[in-house]
Structure 1
Amino acid sequence: MATFENHDHELASIDMEIARLAQLCGVHMLEPGVAEAVLRGDSSMCSSDNPIAWEKMRGLLVLHYHVVSEVAAAEGVDVAAESVRKALQSVRERMRPKQQ
């Protein structure tokens, strides 16, 4: 079970940084097809020119897919899907503007 929790934490950390970098680049990462375009190196969806943030975001997205692939191979697709779901939920909660 500790391995599952470790993957959840690792994915949440990676995805949080991807979300921050996506904001810097003006990329809407959760829109359909955007992650695939980023992986292909297509920066046309960026509304801000930030080559350093772009390259880091793209590298972290590759790492995200690598971690998910390893979890799926070691613990099954259902476990990997749950890790992704939890990471996405964590990022959404942390990136949501705080209401005053």
Structure 2
Amino acid sequence: MTSTDEVDMSETQPLHHEERFTEAHWSMLLESIDLSIAQEAIICRVPLLEEGVVERVLKRDALVCGHANPAAFEKLRSLLIMHFSARNQMALELGEEETTAIASSVREHLRGRVGDQLGTPPG
């Protein structure tokens, strides 16, 4: 197991039935997925925040990488798909407005942790 595969379970607490699918649950889930995405993107030196880069990763265009690491690139692609799947499920559970607010909060939190290592967002 590589260091990028390790998960720190010390901060993870099992959720009771009543706590599942709450805003807090979705926020923690999305943050976990997005942190893993950031880690893999940094390993591959993929500027994910730049225009069109996510689409290129989803199309398996490894030329977007600044550093070749096929295993990390494929994991990055899978995590991006997982992110979109979780976000769609969140929208069904919580509504689009709340989902957008949670996703924005997670992005801002991660930006504080990884800085500009993922490129510069458009706009």
TM-score by length of 1: 0.89
| Residues 1:91 and 2:91 aligned together | no
Q: Find 1:24's aligned residue among 14, 31, 43.
A: 43
Shift of 1:80: 1.2
Identity between Structure 1 and Structure 2 (%): 33
- CA-atom RMSD, angstroms? 1.7
Shift of 1:2: 6.5
Quick one: distance in 2 between partners of 1:96 and 1:44? 23
Quick one: distance in 2 between partners of 1:73 and 1:36? 23
Quick one: distance in 1 between partners of 2:61 and 2:53? 9
Q: Find 1:59's aligned residue among 69, 72, 78.
A: 78
| Residues 1:40 and 2:63 aligned together | no
| Match in the other structure for 2:4 | none
Q: Find 1:10's aligned residue among 25, 29, 41.
A: 29
Q: Which runs of 5 or more structure 1 residues have no equivalent in the other structure?
A: none
Q: Which structure features the higher share of helix residues?
A: 1
Paired residues in the alignment total 97
Shift of 1:96: 3.2
Shift of 1:36: 1.4
Q: Sort the Cα spacing of 1:2 and 1:12 in 2 relative to 1 into closer, same or farther, 3 A.
A: same
Does the 8 Å CA contact 1:12/1:86 hold for their aligned counterparts? Answer: no
Give the SS at the match of 2:91.
Answer: helix
Runs of 4+ in 1 over 6 A off after TM superposition: none
| Residues 1:76 and 2:95 aligned together | yes
Does the 8 Å CA contact 2:40/2:76 hold for their aligned counterparts? Answer: yes
Q: Which runs of 5 or more structure 2 residues have no equivalent in the other structure?
A: 1-19, 117-123
Q: What does the per-residue CA deviation read over 1:60-80, in whole Å, with 9 as the maximum and x for residues that have no partner?
A: 100000000001112111111
